[in-house]
């Protein structure tokens, strides 16, 4: 029979109902999908699909929020990093930390200013190498590029300066050289759109002449030839690109300029179209089968309305994932909810959150129907597997949590600045009352018989099913100075079927959660345990490679061992 752990652990068949007031507040309804993060302000989304997951990247508004002392308006000037989230089910999102663009582009010197509005893509080269490219707005004056061999990095700047600026052929005159949108066609050729701002000397409100389109060289880090103009009506910002049915689909945000019926009617007649004029700050789209010819672009209409107060602007990305199209955009509901609860200063303004709703697209035409934006968002497209290791940073909702990178924690850190490199070593700091919700865990008919928590510190953690105020289905008490694995027995009859699972911390002292995993019950309900013989400690690097025992190791390593009672342990430690 399974031997009990030496740590203090208790399974509670019944317990007193915890008062909901003892848990940290939520600024997102547990039944809603939007925003994707209940704790991180982020905006200007873009996305890619990789190995069955969708990775979403965005402007790190939270960096400005922290810089401003959690008050005042979002001036964007101190945003020098990009956030990364990913999901397999569109409901539970894993936070992978941030890309420290300012650090990566330090060799640019004065040329680097900020990192906004990313666009991302990836490819496999002829020799089988996977390459990921992230383009970003370097404030309003240029476009930069980063490169990696995985969707979370490590990233690097392949250039010592911006990729596109005012000296790039075909760019001038362009008011703002920013907001890139990138796509790779079926032939492996890269293309990029960018630009924005108010009309230049030769532009008008209807035709600002600030949208640009260009071919990329095979390196994906330079323009091939000269950029051309996209004649996008009422164009302002937020370029993105898709390819549907061999046609290029260019999406952008329209301006705040006055729309005059006479101007629009003349434009419709000239272009031979029937589309209505776009509302202010709406997401519009154009289609072309010969994108380097400005006259080939046809305006199709609005597909994304302005989300309304309290969003100061609009930016979206249309992405096909697992057979369906999704509309990623930013909005201000998290900021508004926190203001209403007086959790943040009333002076806060312009801190945005990434949201997602389904989109209806006819690829043959192509045509994009107007998207409905709401807090409901999208439902889970599949169930979560509790028998796979799940990162603590994966959640549908949360309260009272913060993120830190295991490799970059400093003593007396009071707030997370979210300025670390994207990392596989993110962990979640949880205080008394903190909680995490993971939606649609499928425990199956047999149910789960064990629960493993990888954590550090001292805490009591309750697992509650269905709702945050439910009785605990299981409780674990533990204490450890190192990041270790703790396993307890649980009542499999309670952990059957598909459940929404709340992990609630009822007591904590310097507690960090890294990951957790359930173990499915055997058919006969008996759990076997390996022998209790203590084995030699073995160390591994973060890629899983075994490290020699007779050599000192630097940085973060993973240590595995079995104690004298036969309990297996895995922990992260810092080498010498």
Cα dist. 92→109, 130, 226, 388 in Å?
Answer: 39, 26, 43, 14
Alpha helices, DSSP H only, in 132-276? 261-271
The radius of gyration of the chain's CA atoms, rounded to the nearest angstrom, is 25
Which of the residues 61, 179, 237, 405 is marked catalytic?
237
In 378-425, beta strands by DSSP E: 390-391, 394-395, 397-405
Q: Which residues of 243-252 are buried (b: 16+ CB within 10 A; e: fewer)?
A: bbeebbbbbb
Active site residue 237: yes
Give Cα separations from 22 to 25, 53, 57, 223, 399 (angstroms).
9, 35, 34, 56, 11
For residues 574 and 576, what is the distance between their CA atoms, to the nearest angstrom? 7
CB neighbours of 282 closer than 8 A, spacing ≥ 6? 253, 254, 302, 304, 305, 306, 314
Residue 292, classed as helix, strand or coil, is: coil
Report yes or no: 504 and 18 within 8 Å, Cβ to Cβ: yes
* Burial of 543: CB neighbours in 10 Å, binned 0-12, 13-18, 19+: exposed
Determine the Cα angle at 388 with ends 322 and 425, to 5°: 95
Query: In angstroms, how far apart are the furthest CA atoms of the chain?
Result: 86
Pairing type for strands 9-10 and 43-50 reads unpaired
Bond prior to 173 in cis (omega within 30° of 0): yes
Q: Left if phi > 0, otherwise alpha if psi is -120 to 50, otherwise beta: which for 225?
A: left
What are the residues facing 320 on neighbouring strands? 325
439 burial level (CB within 10 Å; 0-12, 13-18, 19+): buried
Nearest CA to 211 out of 185, 191, 234, 189 is that of 234
Q: Which two tokens mark 45?
A: 């989304």
466 φψ region: left (φ > 0), alpha (ψ -120 to 50), beta (else): left
Which residue carries 């990696």 as its tokens? Answer: 148
Q: Which two tokens stand for residue 4?
A: 């009990």
481 is catalytic: no
Task: Specify which residues 355 forms β-bridges with.
Answer: 329
Query: In the beta sheet, which residues pair with residue 505?
Result: 461
- The catalytic site residues sit at 44, 237
């Amino acid at each position: 029979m399974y031997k009990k752990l030496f740590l203090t652990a208790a399974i509670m068949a019944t317990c007193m109902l915890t008062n909901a007031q003892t848990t940290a507040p939520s600024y997102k309804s547990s039944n809603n999908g939007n925003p994707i993060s209940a704790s991180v302000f982020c905006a200007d989304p873009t996305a890619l699909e990789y190995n069955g997951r969708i990775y979403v990247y965005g402007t790190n508004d939270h960096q400005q929020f922290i810089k401003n002392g959690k008050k005042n308006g979002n001036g964007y000037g101190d945003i020098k990093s990009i956030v990364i989230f990913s999901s397999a089910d569109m409901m539970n999102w894993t936070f992978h930390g941030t890309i420290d663009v300012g650090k990566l582009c330090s060799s640019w010197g004065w040329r680097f200013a900020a990192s906004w509005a990313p666009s991302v893509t990836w490819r496999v080269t002829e020799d089988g190498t996977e390459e990921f490219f992230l383009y970003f707005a370097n404030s309003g004056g240029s476009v930069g590029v980063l490169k990696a061999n995985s969707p979370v990095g490590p990233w690097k700047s392949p250039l010592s300066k911006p990729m596109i600026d005012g000296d790039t052929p075909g760019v001038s005159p362009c008011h703002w050289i920013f907001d890139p949108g990138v796509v790779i066609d079926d032939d492996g050729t890269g293309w990029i759109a960018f630009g924005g701002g108010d009309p230049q000397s030769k532009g008008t409100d209807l035709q600002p002449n600030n949208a640009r389109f260009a071919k990329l060289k095979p390196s994906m880090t330079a323009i091939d030839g000269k950029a051309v103009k996209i004649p996008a009506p009422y164009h302002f910002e937020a370029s993105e690109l898709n390819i549907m049915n061999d046609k290029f689909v260019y999406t952008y945000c329209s301006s705040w300029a006055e729309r005059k019926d006479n101007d629009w009617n003349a434009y419709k007649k000239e272009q031979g179209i029937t589309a209505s004029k776009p509302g202010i700050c709406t997401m519009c789209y154009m289609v072309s089968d010969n994108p380097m010819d400005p006259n080939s672009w046809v305006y199709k209409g609005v597909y994304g309305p302005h989300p309304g107060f309290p969003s100061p602007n609009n930016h979206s990305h249309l992405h096909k994932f697992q057979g369906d199209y999704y509309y990623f955009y930013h909005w201000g509901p998290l900021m508004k909810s926190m203001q209403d609860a007086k959790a943040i200063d009333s002076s806060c303004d312009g801190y945005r959150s990434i949201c997602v709703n389904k989109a209806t697209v006819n690829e043959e035409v192509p045509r994009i129907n107007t998207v409905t934006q709401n807090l409901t968002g999208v439902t889970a497209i599949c169930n979560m597997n509790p028998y796979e290791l799940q990162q603590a940073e994966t959640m549908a909702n949360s309260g009272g949590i913060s993120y830190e990178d295991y490799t970059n924690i400093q003593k007396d850190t009071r707030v997370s600045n979210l300025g670390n490199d994207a990392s596989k070593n993110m962990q979640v700091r949880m205080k008394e009352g903190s909680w995490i919700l993971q939606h649609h865990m499928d425990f199956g008919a047999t149910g789960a018989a064990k629960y493993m928590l990888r954590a550090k510190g001292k805490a009591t953690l309750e697992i509650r099913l269905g709702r945050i105020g439910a009785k605990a289905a299981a409780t674990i008490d533990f204490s450890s100075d190192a990041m270790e694995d703790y396993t307890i027995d649980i009542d499999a009859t309670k952990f059957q079927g598909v459940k929404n699972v709340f992990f609630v911390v009822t007591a904590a002292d310097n507690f960090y959660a890294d990951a957790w995993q359930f173990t499915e019950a055997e058919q006969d309900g008996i759990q076997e345990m390996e022998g209790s013989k203590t084995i030699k400690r073995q160390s591994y690097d973060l890629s899983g490679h075994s490290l020699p025992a007779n050599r000192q190791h630097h940085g973060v390593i993973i240590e595995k061992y079995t104690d004298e009672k036969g309990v297996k342990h895995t922990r992260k430690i810092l080498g010498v």
